[in-house]
């Protein structure tokens, strides 16, 4: 593509130290009271570097990915339990997530996603190493977008790296660029409601597990509805879907996230994937934190329900 879909910004060491001091001064646990933690963060002046970068990214319709480098990370990171909840005593990386997410819109979660946790810790779990999930390390996570089965998808997905692995590659491909290599006839088929993305029992809601178009939105800003498990319920859709997946691997950008880096991308306009890798399972493997942001959640969900979940659970959460 001739346009620049990736924007990059470097946080200075002085700005990183300033952010770290802010996060460490807040005596709240962001897992227990996310909204309170966010409000305390926003009391402080935010580095102009981050304000300018997120504003530019949000307002540039051609920009799909924002890579932020040099963010602070907790000095002492613990090892991993078999299954996590809150496993840290300091919350520097979480501060990066919620502060930067709040600059883009509403930080939120889904009740069916780890019971509504805003910040999800993703690391390899040996007993799940062959499962197609963030905890499964020995398998490829094929191209997909987040919450393909849900009527409300996050506008942004952020991935904050606390510890990297040189063999774990994140792939992000522009949906618009993929479609530029497909015929009008193929795209027309992808716009038919014949593609089924099944999900987990925790998300069994009326609109889940029904066929939908793979591509929605206008031609200028096409949006994807595709999970690992998406299949065509009609024969005519099988080859266009397979071609779409093949092309994603051709046009993709590759990221090997390192400590202190965060990649944010416009979820419906991108397809993303992850390579397999071999952890040591010693408690010091790759550690990523994931979070969803919506530009304006009140436009797509009942404001009273959102506010009620904030009051009850300390975080914005939808079904």
Task: Identify the helix (H) or strand (E) that includes residue 162.
Answer: strand 156-163
Structure tokens at 310: 């904030």
b/e per residue, 16-31, with b = 16+ CB within 10 A? Answer: bebbbebbeebebbbb
Torsion of CA 85, 88, 89, 91, to 10 degrees: -100
Structure tokens at 311: 């009051």
Is 156 part of a structural domain of the chain?
A: yes
Domain span including residue 227 = 6-318
DSSP state of 226: -
Is 272 part of a structural domain of the chain?
A: yes
Q: How many distinct structural domains can be found in the chain?
A: 1
Is 1 part of a structural domain of the chain?
A: no
Q: What is the CATH number of the domain that holds 252?
A: 3.60.130.10
CB 55 within 8 Å of CB 2: no
CA distance 155 to 131: 26
- CA nearest 286: which of 259, 250, 304? 259
DSSP state of 192: S
Structure tokens at 257: 């996230």
3-class DSSP state of 238: helix
Concatenate the DSSP letters of all residues of 71-91 into one string: ----SS-----SS-SS--S--
Query: Block means of pLDDT (10 residues each) for the chain, length 319 residues?
Result: 81 98 94 89 94 97 97 90 66 96 93 84 92 92 91 94 97 98 98 87 62 95 94 97 98 98 98 97 93 91 78 74
Structure tokens at 86: 């809150």
Is 300 part of a structural domain of the chain?
A: yes
Question: Which pLDDT value is given to residue 60?
Answer: 96
**Residue 102 CB-half CA count within 13 A:** 20
Q: Are strands 156-163 and 262-266 parallel, antiparallel or unpaired?
A: antiparallel
CB 14 within 8 Å of CB 73: no
CB 138 within 8 Å of CB 278: yes
Question: Which pLDDT value is given to residue 230?
Answer: 94
DSSP state of 70: -
Is 30 part of a structural domain of the chain?
A: yes
Is 239 part of a structural domain of the chain?
A: yes
**Residue 212 CB-half CA count within 13 A:** 21
Task: Identify the helix (H) or strand (E) that includes residue 241.
Answer: helix 238-251
């Amino acid at each position: 593509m001739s346009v620049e879909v990736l924007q990059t910004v470097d946080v200075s060491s002085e700005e990183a130290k300033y952010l770290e001091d802010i996060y460490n001064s807040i005596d709240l646990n962001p897992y227990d009271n996310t909204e309170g933690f966010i409000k305390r963060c926003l009391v402080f002046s935010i580095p102009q570097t981050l304000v300018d970068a997120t504003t530019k990214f949000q307002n540039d319709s051609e920009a799909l990915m924002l890579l932020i480098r040099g963010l602070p990370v907790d000095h002492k990171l613990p090892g991993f339990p078999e299954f996590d909840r809150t496993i840290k005593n300091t919350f520097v990386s979480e501060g990066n997530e919620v502060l930067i997410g709040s600059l883009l819109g509403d930080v939120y979660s889904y009740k069916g996603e780890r019971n509504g946790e805003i910040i999800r810790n993703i690391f390899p779990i040996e007993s799940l190493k062959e499962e197609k999930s963030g905890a499964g390390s020995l398998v490829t996570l094929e191209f997909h977008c987040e919450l393909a089965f849900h009527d409300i998808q996050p506008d942004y997905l952020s991935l904050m790296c606390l510890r990297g692995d040189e063999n774990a590659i994140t792939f992000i491909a522009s949906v618009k660029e993929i479609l530029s290599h497909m015929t009008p006839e193929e795209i027309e088929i992808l716009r038919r409601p014949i593609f089924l993305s099944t999900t987990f029992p925790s998300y069994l809601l009326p609109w889940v597990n029904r066929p939908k178009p793979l591509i929605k939105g206008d031609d200028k800003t096409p949006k994807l509805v595709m999970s690992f498990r998406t299949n065509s319920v009609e024969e005519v859709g099988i080859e266009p879907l397979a071609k779409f997946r093949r092309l994603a691997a051709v046009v993709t950008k590759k990221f090997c996230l390192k400590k202190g880096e965060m990649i944010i991308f416009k979820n419906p306009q991108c397809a993303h994937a992850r390579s397999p890798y071999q952890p040591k399972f010693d408690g010091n493997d790759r550690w990523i934190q994931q979070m969803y942001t919506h530009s304006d959640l009140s436009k797509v969900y009942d404001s009273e329900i959102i506010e009620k979940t904030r009051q009850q659970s300390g975080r914005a959460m939808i079904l």
